[in-house]
Amino acid sequence: MTRFPSIDDLRTACNDRPSGDENAARTATARQAVLTKPPGSLGRLEEAAIRLARWQGRDKPALDEVHVLIFAGSHGVTARGVSAFPAEVTAQMVANFSAGGAAINQLAKQAGASLTVTPLEIERPTADFTQAPAMDEADFLRAVEAGFDAVPEGADLVSLGEMGIGNTTAAAALAAALFGGGGADWVGRGTGVDDAGLSRKAEAVDAALACHGETLSDPLEVLRRVGGRELAAMFGAALSARQKRIPVLLDGFVCGSAVAPLARLGEGGLAHAIAGHVSAEPGHRKLLAELGLRPLLDLDMRLGEGSGACLAINILRGALACHNGMATFAEAGVSDG
């Protein structure tokens, strides 16, 4: 049976936004106050530990079951010359993931995380969204469901990423439709387009906004009309994680744009999300500001494939090593002043 028979059913699911465990968060906050350090001296590591406590529902969180989920899709808009790489690179990179040869393979292994790559009909590109909706309703809902079902029960953390030539153009169109502005406000060089390619990207975004008009007032219609299958899947995974009270780690501009409809559908829609990094794609910093998320890392990365988020897993492991392993003042026999 289809999990989401219609967009209205998906909308209903999006309104099911369980809260985190405030008791666990309070207990974790109290623990931070009595560890052998000046209050607040570990800065955002303390915030990260408390956030994980809230969403895992335990005052001493764990990162034993960490899952990196990568989704791949193909985009019809690539026919407009918006990428420095040909569309067939998407399938070639999926093969590289399977062979263990990509950056994300190395980073997931180093972070002690499992890696799952889900290709979403990459042999069948979405429609060119400057002329028609990227996906019909059934196609869109299948992609959302694939992402939703990819999140394992009992995970301690889910880290999201993507692969899809042309998807920074889709991300820019999503951001523009959700938060205002035009193509020039949101596009970047992506895989490395020249000035002419950058202009084509901006023109494609503006053409998409004009094509779809007032239908873009609905965040789910935005994702269906100017997104892509891998973006819809990341949205579904973020929704699934929220319903299962699993914290989710976000990658770059494409990932952030994909899950942004959750924030637009209701206040606190991304309360369970942590921004792993801010990428070199210029729209990402502005997008994070719109979402109210502060990135853990700023390393000028722009690879995608979940790499920045995966690298941030190590920061979270450090946060929990201190939170769970440090002695309290009483345990250490240290005066707390």
Residues 6 or more apart in contact with residue 196 via CB below 8 angstroms: none
Q: Token digits for 203?
A: 């023109």
Catalytic residue among 22, 221, 305, 331: 305
Q: Which two tokens stand for residue 91?
A: 């399938």
Residue 145 φ/ψ, nearest 5 degrees: -65, -40
Under 8 Å between Cβ of 293 and 252:
no
Cβ neighbors of 124 (< 8 A, separation 6 or more) are 74
52 residue type, one letter = L
Residues near 217 by Cβ (< 8 Å), separated by ≥ 6? none
What does the DSSP assignment read for 152-174? Answer: PTT-SEEEEEEE-TTHHHHHHHH
Please confirm, yes or no, whether 230 is among the known catalytic residues: no
Residue type at 69?
L
Give the separation between CA 107 and CA 306, rounded to whole angstroms: 9
- Alpha helix (H) ranges present in the chain? 7-14, 22-34, 44-56, 89-99, 103-111, 137-149, 167-179, 183-186, 195-212, 219-226, 229-243, 253-265, 282-291, 307-325, 329-332
C-alpha count within 13 angstroms, C-beta hemisphere, residue 6? 3
Q: How far is CA 223 from CA 212, 233, 260, in A?
A: 12, 10, 9
Please identify every residue annotated as catalytic: 305
